[in-house]
Every structure is written in C-alpha cells, then in structure tokens.
Amino acid sequence: MSASPAPPLLLASTSPQRRAILEQLGLPFEVAAPRYEER
C-alpha cells in the first residue's frame, strides 16, 4: 500500500518573495490571491 501524494500548498499571498521561497524549495503550491490589499 502506498501513500497518496500530499496536495499542493496554498499560498494565499501575492508576495513575490514568498512565491520565490516555495519555488526554491521545490514545493508544489497554488496561489490564491486575497481579495484585499496586503500591507
């Protein structure tokens, strides 16, 4: 019996820095932009 792969992370941010970190780590993720402006 094999374990199913983990679902991708959900990045609820439009921050380019956070996206770059996940890309550098090689983690699968999806981006869901928030409806409000981040500060």
Tens-digit pLDDT profile for residues 1-39: 678 888 899 999 889 999 999 999 999 999 998 887 767
For position 3, what pLDDT does the model report? 80
For position 1, what pLDDT does the model report? 63
pTM for the whole thing?
Answer: 0.69
For position 26, what pLDDT does the model report? 94
For position 23, what pLDDT does the model report? 96
Give the Cα separation of 11 and 31 in Å (integer). Answer: 5
Residues 6+ away with beta carbon under 8 Å from 14: 31, 33, 34, 38
